[in-house]
Every structure is written in C-alpha cells, then in structure tokens.
Structure 1
Amino acid sequence: MSSNTFQPSLWMKEAFEEDAAEVATILIQAASTAQADGSEAKAGSRLTTDDAYGVTARLAFANETVTGLEEIGAEIVHPRGSRHSVGVVNGTLILAIKLPANNKGVDDIKMKSAVRRRMLDLAPVREHTTLDFGADYELTSSDGRVVNTTEFGTATRAVLIALKGSARSGVEHLYIGDVRLSDSGEVIWLHREELPIDMTETTVAGLVALDLKPQDGSFASGALPKASLGLVTNDETVTDNDIADERTDSTDMKTAVNDESSKNSR
C-alpha cells in the first residue's frame, strides 16, 4: 500500500492518542531499515538461500521499532524470557514481528512463543469504549486466565504489527491491529489496517513521502531560473550568412587541430 499522504485512522488515534502519526512513521521507517539490513546481510553471506536475510530482517524490525519508540518517550519494558524489549505508548504495547518466508498470508499467523502469547493476552476484545472496573480489576485472557501485567509496565492493551516482505520483493505490506489468540496460538484479527510503506515524514497534513520533497542543498530544491521572454526581431533572425560563418569557424578549428597534431608527430 502506498499513498502520497496518510492520515492516522480513528483506530490509530484511539490506540496511540496524540502520538499516532509518530508511531506510524516509526513503524514504517523500522520496516524500511530492517529490509535494507536483511538485504545487506544476504549479499554479505553469499548464500543462495534467504536465511541470512530472514534472521537479520526479523531482529532488525523488532530492534528498530523499539529504538524509534524510545526516542519519542515511549515506556520500554523487557518481558520475562523475551529476546527483545518492547515499547508501550499511552498504555498500548506494540509487538512488531516479521512474517516468515513460508507464511501464506496475514491470516496465517501462529504464535508459538510463550512470551508473545503473554503479550497478546493483553489484547482483550474492545469496541471503542474503555471501561474502568476499578483498581482491583484483574485483566483476564480469552480463556479466563488472569494476566500478569507487571512485566509489561503500564500496558493495558497490546497491538500486533506484522511486516510482510522478502529479499527479492522488498517490503510488501505492513499490517497493524487488534488480535486475539486461539487455544493453539492462531492469530485472529479483531481489527486490521494497513500502513503505507513509503511514508516516512510527519507533517501537519499527515505523512508525506520523502521522495516527493527535495532535500536541502539538492538541485531540485533550488530556485527556478528566471527566463527572459521576448519577440525575435528581423535583425535577430538567423541568415544564410550566419550559417556559413559557423561552418567557416568549424573548418578553421579542425585545420588548427590537425596542424597542431602534425607538429607533435614530428
């Protein structure tokens, strides 16, 4: 998905509040960086398989997401047993994953990691209203288990970001939304939307593609030259004599070059 401008949806604003546009920017940039790192790893490995690409892109996407979120002041937590830290923005935990090469699509995701399952247990079924049950309320998962939220900081909700891409095709899709897990770990999307993959700059109007805005100091960012417009008078009309003079000048130049070449050869 691509577009010249992008406005965060109502769902994005509800999940991340005033940070919605910045979060979208960070996720898109993280996906782009992960793709570049993965491609570089594949080239450096000199392997015919995409193993180096897949591992590098997966790790880079998670790390770049956390790094970007930390820069905007997100809470960073390290869940028990997890290889990566995760960011929490306005109470929403952001779990960023790279889909494996053998994945059949965004509707074919299965969470095998116990850590990821615990994170996504924070994603209860919600509409557009957050209910306050009081300080003694215990968050439960879909099967009724009490979720231990202390390892997730202030997070009361989790969203999933899924990057689909390959070494050959690059970043293809970037999905985000609310999910719940089946008993066997299959991801069931309760809400899903797609972020544009070429938007990397936040503006008042939304997100704008970098390639549409020339960088400072580039040729494209310079002022347009002033053109002098006017009518050509008869005195300025090119005549046959002018053409003959140009031919004579050209002939004289060739003769001079040939004479110089003859001298040097002697």
Structure 2
Amino acid sequence: MAVAPAQLARMIGAACAPVLALAAGALGLAAPASAESIVASLSAPRVEITSNFAGAEISVFGVVQRDAQTIARRGGYQVAITIAGPTEDVVLRRKDRVAGIWVSGEAQSFPDVPSFYSIQSTAPIDDIASPLVARELKLGLLYVGHGGQPRGGIAAREPYRNALVDLKREQGLYVEEAGSVQFLTDTFFRATASFPAAVPDGLYTVTVHLFADQAHLADESLDLVVAKSGFEQRMYVFAQDDSLLYGLFVVAVALLTGWLGGVLFRRD
C-alpha cells in the first residue's frame, strides 16, 4: 500500500517523539542548576542631595541561599559589590608646552564611562575571580574606560585611561576597596558604600556577585536613586522647564546683588 509523503512524515515524527522526549529529559537532568542564590537589600533606596549635602553612606546587606541538596563550600564564599552611576562621554586632552605656552594636544574619547564607580569585595579581585571572569563582569577599575575606538591603538590610549581613573579617584567618584565586604555569619554579609558631595544624580545600579573557588555562582542587581531635593531640585526643574525665565531670573538676581552691594559699601 502506497503511503503519501506527508503521512509518512507524520508516522516518523510520532515514532521518534518518545525518543526525543527521553533525550530532552536526559539533557535537562545533565544541565547544571544553580545551587546558590543571593537575596540583597539596601539600607536606603534613595540618596537625597540637599543644600547642605556633604556626602552620604548606604549599607548593602545580603544573604546566600542554598537549596536543600547543597552543602557549604569548603573554602567559603566571596562577594564583590559594584555600584555604577549614569554613564557619560569623556574627552581627555593632553597639555603640550609650545614656545612657553600650554596648548591642548592630542585627545582621546571615552564613551559610556560611569560617572561613579565603586567596587567593594571580601578580598582582592584576583583572589576572587579569574582574569577572564573579571574582564567579562568588568570587576575593578582595570576594566573601566575600554569602550569605543581608541585613537592610535589601545597602547596609545592607556595612559589617558589611567589619567581618567586617577582624576575620578581624586574626586572620590571611583573607589576600589578590597576587604570592605564582611561576612557576619557563614551566609550573611554586609558592606558600606560612601558617596562624595560631588556625586552626580541619576539612577545607579548596585550589583552583588557571589563567588566560590573563583567560580561565579550568582548575582543580584538593585536600583539606587541619587536625586536633588528641596530648593536645588526646584531650581533644577525651573531651569529645565523654563530656560528663558530662568535666565532672566538669574540676571535679575545678579543686578539686584550688585545694586545692594553698591548701596551697602558706598562711601559718602
């Protein structure tokens, strides 16, 4: 009896279905499942920038959760916590001395550089993760500022990148602290992050990475808002929404201040 091609295909598919299902089940059993996970929280989800703002601190808490079949790691756990602020495009120019005058020389561009970057860990990053994993996760200041097309090659741009990191560190905007994350128990950890007075406002991302034996086990991300409040926020909104009126207001205040200064300090 002749069988149509379409009917033959259906028959073959029906016969192979149990075999395919069994193979899929075997693959599912063989696939590694994540044995550990992290539950993290912030002491405050928002940092308010007021007129007398001189910096702030927040605490990051976390707990390592294990399933019922997972036993404790012999070498214990390691944690790295990164806090990244809004990105910005930065251009660094070299100062050259020509005929006794300092002029702007060669420049290098760094797109999508975090305006604020902090990494805290239980130990140095080299002890926590392999260089390949650290590069992939961008753990540490060594991996900041490598985006975009370097002018003259990577080697030519590296001194500019180092200068960028140094400038940010001097401003307190880039921080790398090994040993600042502490395990209070075998699974409960805590760290405190500081923000300088010049911290940019915007949406920040706090990421907690869990390691054991240099293997990346899990991570957890949290949102942190740094925003102006009070008089600063009202003036910022005023300047953004009504730029013309804001400019006239600033000019009027400057004229009034100058007039008052002349009246107060006028000599008869």
Q: Shorter-chain TM-score category?
A: under 0.3
Which structure has the highest strand share of the two? Answer: 2
Which structure's residues are more often helix, by fraction? 1
Larger Rg over CA atoms: 1
Higher relative contact order, chain-length normalized (CA < 8 Å, sep 6+):
2
